[in-house]
Every structure is written in structure tokens, then in C-alpha cells.
A and B are shown apart, each in its own frame.
Chain A
Amino acid sequence: MSMQTTSQNDKKLYGIIAEFNAPEEIIDAANRAREAGYKKMDAYTPFPVHHLDDALGFQQTRLGWVVLFAGIVGALGGFFLQWYANVVFYPLNIGGKPLNSWPNFVVITFECAVLFSAFSAGLFMIIRNGLPRLHHPIFGAHNFAAATRDKFFLCIEARDAKFDTEQTRQFLEQLNPNHVSDVKDE
């Protein structure tokens, strides 16, 4: 039931996509594809499927380190702000407390650490994922709207070294997906 219109035929091919019904199927498919030697491929699922990333051969993200670093920067910055304001910039006798009464500075230091690390985590995820990206070839794929509902897609991209339109399509066909279709680039 391929719905490719003639208009898409002359467009450059982004990849070939196969649609599955269940998480197990997509993991199985991903494993098979990896074993078949495909590297540039990605899966599209309505919810995070466990071990799918391993199946696709992704390596772990370095997000953790970024967050840790940001947290340390935040903490140091927060404390420095208070120390500088009270000791260097405008030293004042506040209720007979010493200028650098550090126990008073703990809370804000902590809050700054959390603030920095939290936002680094969120923004890192969004940016590394290349978001926001409103337009993407994959959106053009057949029945792709189901990817946020109940269907599971595996797409092998044209830029993969081993990619060959005919072979790759056959390879995907034999994973008995609901169907296989081309994804055109624009």
C-alpha cells in the first residue's frame, strides 16, 4: 500500500522506513539491522523502548558530566557572589556578624548549584537532539503520525555506507513489518 506520489519520485532519498506494531518487533528488527552492518539508522517509537539504543548500537550520552560541571560552576558562582558582595564590594556590619559569615551563604549556594545543573540538563538534551526542528524528512514518511501513537518505525538512512535502495528495502521487507516505504528528502 505504498502511497508515494510522483511528485516525490524526483526528490532525493532520505532513507527507507519500516513500520512495526510492537516494541519487541522493533528491537528484534534493530538487532537484525545492526548485525546486517547498518550503522546510520534510527528508530521512532511512541514511548522509550528499553534496550532499543543498545540494539541500534548507540553509545551512552555524556549528559551526566555536563550536569556535574554546571552544578559545580553554579555553586562556586553563587558563593562567590555573596562573598564578593559582603566582603569586598560593600563591607557592612550586619548585626555584628563577620563579613564572611559563610553559614548564611549556604542556602543560596545550593540553590544556584541546582539551578545551573538543572537547566544545563534540560538545554543539553534539547540542543543535542537538534531541537527545535519543526521540519524533518521523516515527518513525510508514510503513516508516520502513528509514531507518536502506537506504531514503531525503523529507518535506515541513505547516508549509511552500506545503504542500497533495493537491498535495503528487501532487507526491511523480510523483517515482516506492516509496510516499508521511502522517505524523501526535500
Chain B
Amino acid sequence: MPQYFPPSANAFLKWSILGGIVFLVVLVTALAAYARVYRNQVNVPVEQPVGYQHSLHAGELGIDCRYCHNSVEVAASANIPPTEVCMTCHSQIRVGTPQLAGVYESWETDQPIRWNKVHDLADFVYFNHSAHINKGVGCNDCHGRVDRMSAIWKAEPMSMGWCLECHRAPERYVRPREEVFNLAYERPAAAEQLELGRSLVQSYHINTNKLPQCSTCHR
């Protein structure tokens, strides 16, 4: 009786089986990684109608975040400043520079500037800036070194898992209130941070039971 398959068939079959398995594993992991990075658009600068530079204003000029984001301590939204805020300075300074064209146009035509959202949470997530600011979560914990970004990008994935890292163990992240707006603030080494964090959680009445509850962010 003749052979149905050449000797090479054995090796071929074994390798193709092995290869198939490997391929699947790689594919899945690749997709997952791609999903995390690309979908969350981390570290991807976002084009804006006005070439506003945080690096200049918050960085070199050292303007406080709250000058523009004035509701960050009292409201859910930090507030994107109205055009008039830009005009407080730019009616005198750098009048007529092309980068500011958008601002002047808005001011004259009374049409709002259409900023592109950078940190865009899902509609079923209810994030409140004031709650975080008042409990000692620093700006750069989530937004990164904005004072070094010319065009703003997302410094963190802002996925639920990421939020939970802090909501499950706030003591690992919180800082003294007076340091909240200090973008250059460096967390102390793990051990001290834990010690500091625990005391802050105490004094700021951070309810660690509440934080990981669904109803904290979803309604």
C-alpha cells in the first residue's frame, strides 16, 4: 500500500499547529495593546483652532491653572475659559499676532471658539473636579506636566481600570491641598507617601469605602 503523505507532512503539520497557536496568542495581545493605546489616544497631541500654548502660559509665565479654569475648585467642570478671559490680557499684549486670530475673530463675531476635547470621558461617567481638588488630587496626577505641553495631549489612558488604581488606594496618590496646583510636585518615595497619604486620607475625610463604589462615578 502506498503512503498518502510524504515524510515532510509530519513536520509540516506539527509546525503549522504550533504556529497557529502562537499566531493566535500574538494576535490577541497585539489587538489588546493597540486597543488600549490607540483608542485612548494617550500622548497624541490634539489640534486646536487656536494655537494656545500651555507651556508658555502655565510654564514660562507661570499663570495659575485657576486663572482660566476658574470653576475647578467648586464645580464638576473645570471650565474652558470664555473668550473674554483671553482678552483680559490680549487686548493689550501681543495684539494682532496671527496665532491669536481665532481669539479676536471670536471676540468680534461673538462666536465661541470651538475647542477640540482632549479629555473626553464617556457620557455615563460623572467626574467632578472640585471633589478631587479638595481632597488633594493634583492636576498633574491625571493631566501630566501640562506646563510642558505646547499642544495638549492625554497623559493617562483615563480608562476605568486606571481610575480605580487611585480609587482603590487613594493613600498612594493624594498630596497636601496646598500642593494640588503644583505641577512640579513629586510624590515622596513609596513608604513615606503611604504614611503621608494615610494621614491625608484621615484629615480630608476621604471615604475609602465610597471610592470604589459604582455610584461614585455612574448614575
Per the bound structure, the CA–CA distance linking A117 and B4 in Å amounts to 34
Per the bound structure, the CA–CA distance linking A143 and B1 in Å amounts to 5
Per the bound structure, the CA–CA distance linking A145 and B5 in Å amounts to 14
Q: Is the CB of B1 within 8 A of A135?
A: no
Interface range for B: 10 to 19
CB neighbours of A29 from chain B (8 A): none
Say yes or no for A144: interface residue by CB 8 A criterion: yes
Say yes or no for A65: interface residue by CB 8 A criterion: no
Q: Is the CB of B9 within 8 A of A140?
A: no
Per the bound structure, the CA–CA distance linking A64 and B34 in Å amounts to 43
Per the bound structure, the CA–CA distance linking A134 and B3 in Å amounts to 9
Q: Is the CB of B14 within 8 A of A135?
A: no
Per the bound structure, the CA–CA distance linking A145 and B4 in Å amounts to 11
Q: Is the CB of A132 within 8 A of B7?
A: no
Pick from A134, A141, A144 the residue with the most CB of B within 10 Å: A134
Q: Closest chain B residue to A186 by CB distance?
A: B7
Q: Closest chain B residue to A90 by CB distance?
A: B212
B residues 1-27 in Cβ contact with A at 8 Å: 1-10, 13-14, 17
Q: Is the CB of B10 within 8 A of A142?
A: no
Interface string of B54-88 (1 = CB under 8 A from A): 00000000000000000000000000000000000
How distant is A182 from chain B, measured CB to nearest CB, in Å? 13
CB neighbours of B2 from chain A (8 A): 140
Q: Is the CB of A145 within 8 A of B1?
A: yes
Per the bound structure, the CA–CA distance linking A147 and B99 in Å amounts to 86
Q: Is the CB of B1 within 8 A of A132?
A: no
Say yes or no for A139: interface residue by CB 8 A criterion: yes
Per the bound structure, the CA–CA distance linking A90 and B214 in Å amounts to 11
How distant is B122 from chain A, measured CB to nearest CB, in Å? 19
How distant is B192 from chain A, measured CB to nearest CB, in Å? 26
How distant is A181 from chain B, measured CB to nearest CB, in Å? 11
A residues 118-151 in Cβ contact with B at 8 Å: 132-135, 139-145
Q: Is the CB of B9 within 8 A of A134?
A: yes
Q: Is the CB of A144 within 8 A of B7?
A: no
Per the bound structure, the CA–CA distance linking A139 and B5 in Å amounts to 10
Q: Is the CB of A139 within 8 A of B1?
A: yes
Q: Is the CB of A140 within 8 A of B3?
A: yes
Q: Closest chain B residue to A3 by CB distance?
A: B1
The 6 closest A-B pairs by CB, nearest first: A134-B5, A134-B9, A135-B5, A144-B1, A135-B7, A145-B1
Residues of chain B whose beta carbon lies under 8 Å from any beta carbon of chain A: 1-10, 13-14, 17, 164, 212, 214
Q: List 26 A-B contacts (CB under 8 A).
A: A90-B164, A90-B212, A92-B214, A132-B10, A132-B13, A132-B17, A133-B10, A134-B4, A134-B13, A135-B3, A135-B5, A135-B6, A135-B7, A135-B9, A135-B10, A139-B1, A139-B3, A139-B4, A140-B1, A140-B2, A140-B3, A141-B1, A142-B1, A143-B1, A145-B1, A186-B3
Other A-B contacts than A134-B9, A135-B3, 19 sampled, CB-CB below 8 A, are A90-B164, A92-B214, A132-B13, A134-B4, A134-B5, A134-B10, A134-B13, A135-B5, A135-B6, A135-B7, A135-B8, A135-B9, A135-B10, A139-B4, A140-B3, A143-B1, A144-B1, A186-B3, A186-B7
